[in-house]
Amino acid sequence: MSKRSMCQIAMVAVVVFLGCALPASAQAKKGDSEVQLFASFSMAANEAGSAQGDIFGNYGLFATDHVQVGGGPTISIARGNPVNVTFGINAFTRRYFGGSRVQPYVGGEFFMFDVTDPDFSYANALFGVKNYLSERAAIDFKGGYGFLIKEPGSAGLISFQIGLTVLF
C-alpha cells in the first residue's frame, strides 16, 4: 500500500468520524481515568518495507477537563525473517477540543519500542479524533509523525492507530 493510499484512507476515516457527530455531550472531567486499547501500523517515512504493527494498552488521567496524561506497555511486531516481537513502554499527553461526542485532539507521545534497547525510542507529534459511542466508551483514531530520539535527522516515523477507550 502506498503512502498516498494510506493518507487517503486516514482522511476518509477522519471525515467519517467527524460526520458521525451527535448533539449529545460526552466528555471527560478533571480527575476521570481512562483505559485504552490500541492497535497501530507504522513505517519509516522513506522505507515502505519497514512495516511494523503494535498493540498497546494505556491508562490515562485527565489533569484538567481537556488535558490528559498517561502511558502503558507496548508489544511490537516487526516485519522480517524471523518476525521480531519486542516489549516496550509509552507515555503521552493530549489536549482535547470541544465538548461534543466527537472530540479532536493534538498531543505528543514517547515510545520505547524495546525496553532492552533504549536507543530505539521515538518522540511523536500526533493528532486524533475521539468519537464517543456512549457517555463512557469511544473509538479513538489518531495519526502521528515522529523521529528517532537518538538520531533526530533520520527518517521520520509515520503511524496510524485505532483504539477503544473507556472512561471511569
Q: When comparing pLDDT for 18 and 153, which is higher? A: 153
pLDDT at 70 over 70: yes
> Measured between alpha carbons, how far is 37 from 48 in angstroms, rounded to an integer?
26
Q: Where are the domains of the chain?
A: 3-21+35-157
pLDDT at 87 over 90: yes
Determine the straight-line distance between the first and last CA of the chain, rounded to whole angstroms.
38
pLDDT in tens, 90-124: 999 999 997 788 999 999 999 898 999 888 898 99
Taking CA atoms, 52 is separated from 12, 16, 19, 49, 77, in Å, by 22, 25, 30, 9, 6
pLDDT in tens, 5-57: 444 444 444 444 444 444 445 578 899 999 999 998 776 666 666 677 888 89
Q: Give me the pLDDT at residue 26, please.
A: 58
Best CA proximity match to 10, nearest among 162, 133, 148, 122: 162
